[in-house]
Amino acid sequence: MEERVRQILAKHSGLGATVWTIPVTANLWSLGMTSLASVDVMLALEKAFAFEFPESELRHATFSSVDAIVECVEELTGSRPS
């Protein structure tokens, strides 16, 4: 999951290859991801994992780090490891 999220971020976040080396908790907004780029990230995640973000998750915190995205996608797709 984390690798696929990093792949999507590398392609769509505007941060490029640096997303492969940042810590999972690094703040993507602070690194320079724009809200416009986050839309592409969101759409790519929805397509890759076949789900749709609910209104309640459409906020900065959801897309704030690799960890936050992984946690949210796992929660919404029911794929969180037990």
Partner 1 sequence: MTPDGLVPTAAPGVFLGSAAVESVIGALRSALAGLAGTHTPRSLYAPPVIAGSVMAKVEYRRYFPHLLATVFTADGESDLVLLPAGCYCVYPAYEGVQLDSAIELDVEATCFREERSAEPGRLRSFRMREFVHIGPEDGCRAWRDERVAAARTWLAGLGLKIDVVAAGDAFFGAGSRLLQRLQIEEELKLELVAEVAGGVTQAVASGNYHKDRFGGLFAIAGPGGSPAHSACIAFGYERLALALTHRHGRDPGGWPPGVRAQLGWPARP
- Indicate whether 58 belongs to the interface with partner 1 (CB under 8 A): yes
55 near partner 1, judged by CB under 8 A = yes
Residue at 13: amino acid letter: S
- What is the spatial distance between Cα 80 and Cα 14, in angstroms, rounded to a whole number? 27
Closest contact distance (angstroms) between CB of 58 and partner 1 is 4
Q: Smaller CB distance to partner 1: residue 46 or 67?
A: 46
Binding site for partner 1 (CB under 8 A): 34-36, 38-40, 42-43, 53, 55, 58-60
